[in-house]
Structure 1
Amino acid sequence: MQQRLQPEFDLTIDPETVRQFVLKARAISAALNDDYDAGHEHEVELDDQSRDRHAHDGLAEEEEQNLTASELRALIEDLNVDEAADLLAIMFIGRGDFDAREWDQAVAEARPRINKRVSTYLLGMPMLGEWLEEGLEKIGA
Protein backbone atom coordinates (compact mmCIF):
# COMPACT_ATOMS: atom_id res chain seq x y z
CA MET A 1 0.00 0.00 0.00
CA GLN A 2 1.29 3.42 -0.93
CA GLN A 3 2.19 5.68 1.98
CA ARG A 4 0.15 8.88 1.96
CA LEU A 5 2.02 12.15 1.84
CA GLN A 6 1.09 14.78 4.38
CA PRO A 7 -0.33 17.51 2.16
CA GLU A 8 1.56 20.79 2.35
CA PHE A 9 -1.33 22.69 0.79
CA ASP A 10 -4.96 23.42 1.40
CA LEU A 11 -7.48 21.97 -1.01
CA THR A 12 -10.24 24.34 -2.04
CA ILE A 13 -12.37 21.36 -3.05
CA ASP A 14 -13.64 19.00 -0.37
CA PRO A 15 -12.16 15.50 -0.83
CA GLU A 16 -15.64 14.07 -0.11
CA THR A 17 -16.98 16.02 -3.09
CA VAL A 18 -14.26 14.48 -5.26
CA ARG A 19 -15.21 11.03 -3.93
CA GLN A 20 -18.81 11.68 -5.02
CA PHE A 21 -17.47 12.61 -8.46
CA VAL A 22 -15.57 9.30 -8.48
CA LEU A 23 -18.78 7.35 -7.83
CA LYS A 24 -20.70 9.20 -10.53
CA ALA A 25 -17.85 8.88 -13.06
CA ARG A 26 -17.65 5.14 -12.42
CA ALA A 27 -21.41 4.80 -12.89
CA ILE A 28 -21.11 6.55 -16.24
CA SER A 29 -18.20 4.38 -17.40
CA ALA A 30 -20.04 1.22 -16.32
CA ALA A 31 -23.03 2.08 -18.53
CA LEU A 32 -23.70 0.19 -21.73
CA ASN A 33 -21.15 0.41 -24.54
CA ASP A 34 -21.94 2.60 -27.51
CA ASP A 35 -22.05 -0.48 -29.75
CA TYR A 36 -25.10 -1.76 -27.87
CA ASP A 37 -27.57 -0.10 -30.25
CA ALA A 38 -31.00 0.89 -29.02
CA GLY A 39 -33.82 -1.45 -29.97
CA HIS A 40 -31.63 -4.18 -31.44
CA GLU A 41 -31.73 -7.78 -30.41
CA HIS A 42 -28.53 -9.42 -29.27
CA GLU A 43 -27.82 -13.09 -28.89
CA VAL A 44 -26.79 -14.10 -25.39
CA GLU A 45 -24.93 -17.36 -24.81
CA LEU A 46 -26.22 -18.98 -21.64
CA ASP A 47 -23.96 -22.02 -21.72
CA ASP A 48 -22.25 -24.17 -24.37
CA GLN A 49 -25.55 -25.35 -25.88
CA SER A 50 -28.15 -22.73 -24.99
CA ARG A 51 -28.64 -19.35 -26.57
CA ASP A 52 -31.25 -16.71 -26.00
CA ARG A 53 -32.24 -13.57 -27.87
CA HIS A 54 -32.14 -10.45 -25.77
CA ALA A 55 -33.87 -7.23 -26.71
CA HIS A 56 -33.51 -4.06 -24.69
CA ASP A 57 -35.09 -0.68 -24.58
CA GLY A 58 -32.06 1.44 -25.40
CA LEU A 59 -33.91 4.69 -24.80
CA ALA A 60 -34.69 3.87 -21.17
CA GLU A 61 -31.12 2.75 -20.55
CA GLU A 62 -29.73 5.81 -22.32
CA GLU A 63 -31.85 8.16 -20.18
CA GLU A 64 -30.41 6.63 -17.00
CA GLN A 65 -26.86 7.10 -18.25
CA ASN A 66 -27.55 10.67 -19.36
CA LEU A 67 -29.08 11.49 -15.99
CA THR A 68 -25.88 10.46 -14.21
CA ALA A 69 -23.75 12.30 -16.78
CA SER A 70 -25.91 15.41 -16.56
CA GLU A 71 -25.73 15.30 -12.74
CA LEU A 72 -21.94 15.09 -12.82
CA ARG A 73 -21.76 17.81 -15.48
CA ALA A 74 -23.90 20.12 -13.32
CA LEU A 75 -21.78 19.42 -10.23
CA ILE A 76 -18.56 20.19 -12.10
CA GLU A 77 -20.04 23.35 -13.62
CA ASP A 78 -21.07 24.52 -10.12
CA LEU A 79 -17.45 24.52 -8.94
CA ASN A 80 -15.70 27.85 -8.59
CA VAL A 81 -12.41 28.41 -10.45
CA ASP A 82 -10.22 27.35 -7.52
CA GLU A 83 -12.21 24.16 -6.89
CA ALA A 84 -12.19 23.27 -10.60
CA ALA A 85 -8.42 23.86 -10.77
CA ASP A 86 -7.93 21.55 -7.77
CA LEU A 87 -10.16 18.91 -9.39
CA LEU A 88 -8.13 19.03 -12.60
CA ALA A 89 -4.87 18.95 -10.64
CA ILE A 90 -6.06 15.86 -8.73
CA MET A 91 -6.89 14.21 -12.05
CA PHE A 92 -3.48 15.17 -13.49
CA ILE A 93 -1.72 13.62 -10.49
CA GLY A 94 -3.89 10.51 -10.62
CA ARG A 95 -3.21 10.13 -14.33
CA GLY A 96 0.53 10.44 -13.69
CA ASP A 97 1.12 13.78 -15.41
CA PHE A 98 2.48 15.20 -12.14
CA ASP A 99 3.80 13.80 -8.88
CA ALA A 100 2.03 14.76 -5.65
CA ARG A 101 5.07 16.87 -4.72
CA GLU A 102 4.36 18.93 -7.86
CA TRP A 103 0.94 20.05 -6.62
CA ASP A 104 1.57 23.75 -7.27
CA GLN A 105 2.67 23.00 -10.84
CA ALA A 106 -0.39 20.81 -11.42
CA VAL A 107 -2.71 23.56 -10.20
CA ALA A 108 -0.85 26.14 -12.32
CA GLU A 109 -1.29 23.89 -15.38
CA ALA A 110 -4.99 23.36 -14.57
CA ARG A 111 -5.99 26.97 -13.89
CA PRO A 112 -5.82 28.28 -17.49
CA ARG A 113 -7.87 25.28 -18.67
CA ILE A 114 -10.87 26.23 -16.55
CA ASN A 115 -13.66 27.32 -18.86
CA LYS A 116 -17.21 26.35 -19.74
CA ARG A 117 -15.98 23.17 -21.43
CA VAL A 118 -14.08 21.71 -18.46
CA SER A 119 -16.99 19.39 -17.65
CA THR A 120 -17.05 18.11 -21.24
CA TYR A 121 -13.28 17.59 -21.07
CA LEU A 122 -13.53 15.59 -17.84
CA LEU A 123 -16.62 13.60 -18.85
CA GLY A 124 -14.81 12.55 -22.02
CA MET A 125 -12.31 10.56 -19.95
CA PRO A 126 -13.32 6.92 -19.50
CA MET A 127 -10.83 6.56 -16.61
CA LEU A 128 -11.91 9.74 -14.80
CA GLY A 129 -13.13 7.96 -11.66
CA GLU A 130 -9.96 5.93 -11.32
CA TRP A 131 -7.70 8.93 -11.93
CA LEU A 132 -9.52 11.09 -9.38
CA GLU A 133 -9.37 8.34 -6.78
CA GLU A 134 -5.70 7.69 -7.47
CA GLY A 135 -4.98 11.42 -7.30
CA LEU A 136 -6.69 11.71 -3.91
CA GLU A 137 -4.64 8.79 -2.62
CA LYS A 138 -1.39 10.26 -3.93
CA ILE A 139 -1.96 13.64 -2.28
CA GLY A 140 -3.08 12.04 0.96
CA ALA A 141 -6.59 13.44 0.96
Structure 2
Amino acid sequence: MELTVPLETVCRLIVRARELEAQVPAIETEEDEDPTDSDDPYAVLEDEANTAIEDEVRALLEDMADDEIAEVLALALIGRGTYDTSEWDDALDEGSDPEDALDQLLDMPLLAAYLDAGLAAFDLSCEGIGQID
Protein backbone atom coordinates (compact mmCIF):
# COMPACT_ATOMS: atom_id res chain seq x y z
CA MET A 1 0.00 0.00 0.00
CA GLU A 2 1.35 3.37 -1.01
CA LEU A 3 -0.47 6.51 0.03
CA THR A 4 -1.21 9.24 -2.49
CA VAL A 5 -2.14 11.60 0.34
CA PRO A 6 1.10 13.09 1.70
CA LEU A 7 2.06 11.77 5.13
CA GLU A 8 2.59 15.36 6.26
CA THR A 9 -1.06 16.10 5.43
CA VAL A 10 -2.27 13.13 7.48
CA CYS A 11 -0.02 14.24 10.35
CA ARG A 12 -1.35 17.81 10.17
CA LEU A 13 -4.87 16.39 10.31
CA ILE A 14 -3.93 14.30 13.35
CA VAL A 15 -2.56 17.37 15.15
CA ARG A 16 -5.68 19.43 14.42
CA ALA A 17 -8.04 16.58 15.31
CA ARG A 18 -6.22 16.17 18.65
CA GLU A 19 -6.71 19.87 19.34
CA LEU A 20 -10.40 19.50 18.60
CA GLU A 21 -10.73 16.35 20.73
CA ALA A 22 -9.02 18.14 23.63
CA GLN A 23 -11.88 20.64 23.64
CA VAL A 24 -14.56 17.98 24.22
CA PRO A 25 -15.18 17.55 27.96
CA ALA A 26 -15.28 14.15 29.60
CA ILE A 27 -18.79 12.76 29.87
CA GLU A 28 -20.03 13.15 33.41
CA THR A 29 -21.90 10.53 35.37
CA GLU A 30 -25.51 11.19 36.36
CA GLU A 31 -24.47 11.90 39.95
CA ASP A 32 -22.05 14.61 38.85
CA GLU A 33 -24.48 16.13 36.39
CA ASP A 34 -25.80 19.62 36.91
CA PRO A 35 -29.35 19.76 35.52
CA THR A 36 -28.66 23.22 34.10
CA ASP A 37 -25.83 21.87 31.94
CA SER A 38 -26.39 20.71 28.41
CA ASP A 39 -26.73 16.95 27.91
CA ASP A 40 -24.58 17.24 24.81
CA PRO A 41 -20.87 16.74 25.60
CA TYR A 42 -20.08 18.33 22.23
CA ALA A 43 -21.96 21.54 23.05
CA VAL A 44 -18.62 23.09 23.96
CA LEU A 45 -17.75 22.87 20.26
CA GLU A 46 -20.13 25.74 19.63
CA ASP A 47 -17.50 27.99 21.21
CA GLU A 48 -15.87 30.30 18.67
CA ALA A 49 -12.30 29.04 19.20
CA ASN A 50 -13.41 25.43 18.93
CA THR A 51 -15.40 26.19 15.81
CA ALA A 52 -12.22 27.63 14.26
CA ILE A 53 -10.37 24.35 14.92
CA GLU A 54 -13.31 22.34 13.58
CA ASP A 55 -13.38 24.57 10.48
CA GLU A 56 -9.67 23.98 9.98
CA VAL A 57 -10.11 20.19 10.21
CA ARG A 58 -12.98 20.42 7.71
CA ALA A 59 -10.91 22.63 5.38
CA LEU A 60 -7.97 20.21 5.49
CA LEU A 61 -10.29 17.39 4.45
CA GLU A 62 -12.18 19.40 1.84
CA ASP A 63 -8.89 20.47 0.20
CA MET A 64 -7.99 16.83 -0.42
CA ALA A 65 -8.62 15.03 -3.69
CA ASP A 66 -11.35 12.37 -3.60
CA ASP A 67 -8.82 9.51 -3.56
CA GLU A 68 -6.96 11.15 -0.68
CA ILE A 69 -10.16 11.46 1.38
CA ALA A 70 -10.82 7.77 0.69
CA GLU A 71 -7.31 6.92 1.92
CA VAL A 72 -7.70 8.97 5.09
CA LEU A 73 -11.02 7.25 5.83
CA ALA A 74 -9.44 3.85 5.11
CA LEU A 75 -6.60 4.62 7.53
CA ALA A 76 -9.09 5.68 10.20
CA LEU A 77 -11.20 2.55 9.70
CA ILE A 78 -8.13 0.33 9.94
CA GLY A 79 -7.00 2.25 13.02
CA ARG A 80 -10.44 1.77 14.55
CA GLY A 81 -10.29 -1.97 13.84
CA THR A 82 -13.16 -2.06 11.34
CA TYR A 83 -10.72 -3.49 8.78
CA ASP A 84 -7.21 -4.86 8.96
CA THR A 85 -4.32 -4.06 6.66
CA SER A 86 -5.09 -6.98 4.34
CA GLU A 87 -8.50 -5.37 3.68
CA TRP A 88 -7.10 -2.04 2.43
CA ASP A 89 -9.12 -2.16 -0.81
CA ASP A 90 -12.35 -2.82 1.11
CA ALA A 91 -11.55 0.06 3.46
CA LEU A 92 -10.89 2.30 0.44
CA ASP A 93 -14.29 1.34 -0.99
CA GLU A 94 -15.90 2.85 2.13
CA GLY A 95 -14.65 6.22 0.91
CA SER A 96 -15.94 5.92 -2.64
CA ASP A 97 -18.45 8.72 -1.99
CA PRO A 98 -16.27 11.69 -0.95
CA GLU A 99 -19.09 13.59 0.79
CA ASP A 100 -20.05 10.53 2.82
CA ALA A 101 -16.38 9.87 3.62
CA LEU A 102 -15.96 13.47 4.76
CA ASP A 103 -19.02 13.19 7.02
CA GLN A 104 -17.78 9.89 8.47
CA LEU A 105 -14.39 11.41 9.28
CA LEU A 106 -15.88 14.51 10.88
CA ASP A 107 -18.20 12.34 12.98
CA MET A 108 -15.36 10.23 14.44
CA PRO A 109 -14.77 11.44 18.00
CA LEU A 110 -11.36 9.70 18.14
CA LEU A 111 -10.21 10.60 14.63
CA ALA A 112 -6.64 11.46 15.65
CA ALA A 113 -6.17 8.18 17.52
CA TYR A 114 -7.68 6.17 14.66
CA LEU A 115 -5.45 7.84 12.07
CA ASP A 116 -2.39 7.36 14.26
CA ALA A 117 -3.23 3.66 14.74
CA GLY A 118 -3.97 3.29 11.02
CA LEU A 119 -0.57 4.70 10.12
CA ALA A 120 1.09 2.43 12.69
CA ALA A 121 -0.63 -0.60 11.17
CA PHE A 122 1.37 0.11 8.00
CA ASP A 123 4.58 0.94 9.92
CA LEU A 124 4.14 4.64 9.22
CA SER A 125 4.20 7.45 11.77
CA CYS A 126 4.37 11.19 12.13
CA GLU A 127 7.61 10.89 14.08
CA GLY A 128 10.36 12.81 12.35
CA ILE A 129 7.95 14.84 10.22
CA GLY A 130 9.03 18.00 12.00
CA GLN A 131 7.01 20.93 13.24
CA ILE A 132 3.44 20.80 11.98
CA ASP A 133 1.45 23.99 12.29
After TM superposition, the score normalised by the length of structure 1 is 0.68
Q: Deviations over 1:48-78 (max 9, x none)?
A: xxxxxxxxxxx9x911111111011011011
Q: Deviations over 1:20-65 (max 9, x none)?
A: 1111111111115398xxxxxx9xxxxxxxxxxxxxxxx9x91111
Picking from 87, 91, 96, the partner of 1:106 is 91
Change over 3 Å in CA distance of 1:32–1:98 after alignment to 2: closer
Q: Shift of the alpha carbon at 1:120?
A: 3.4
Please list every run of at least 4 consecutive aligned residues from structure 1 whose deviation after the TM superposition is greater than 4 angstroms.
none
Between structure 1 and structure 2, the one with the greater Rg is 1
1:81 alignment partner AA = D
Q: Return the structure number with greater strand share.
A: 1
Are 2:67 and 1:82 equivalent residues in the alignment? Answer: yes
Change over 3 Å in CA distance of 1:126–1:140 after alignment to 2: same
Aligned counterpart, 1:31? 23
C-alpha contact (below 8 Å) 1:15/1:136 kept by paired residues: no
1:20 alignment partner AA = R
Unaligned stretches of 5+ in structure 2? 28-33, 35-43, 125-133
Aligned counterpart, 2:10? 18
Unaligned stretches of 5+ in structure 1? 1-8, 36-41, 43-58
Aligned length: 109
Give the match's secondary structure for 1:110: coil
Change over 3 Å in CA distance of 1:12–1:101 after alignment to 2: same
Q: Distance in 1 between matches of 2:75 and 2:19?
A: 19
Q: Distance in 1 between matches of 2:24 and 2:76?
A: 24
Q: What is the percentage of aligned positions where both structures have the same residue?
A: 36
Picking from 119, 124, 132, the partner of 1:136 is 119
Aligned counterpart, 1:50? none
Q: What RMSD over aligned residues (CA atoms) do the two structures have, in Å?
A: 2.4
After TM superposition, the score normalised by the length of structure 2 is 0.72
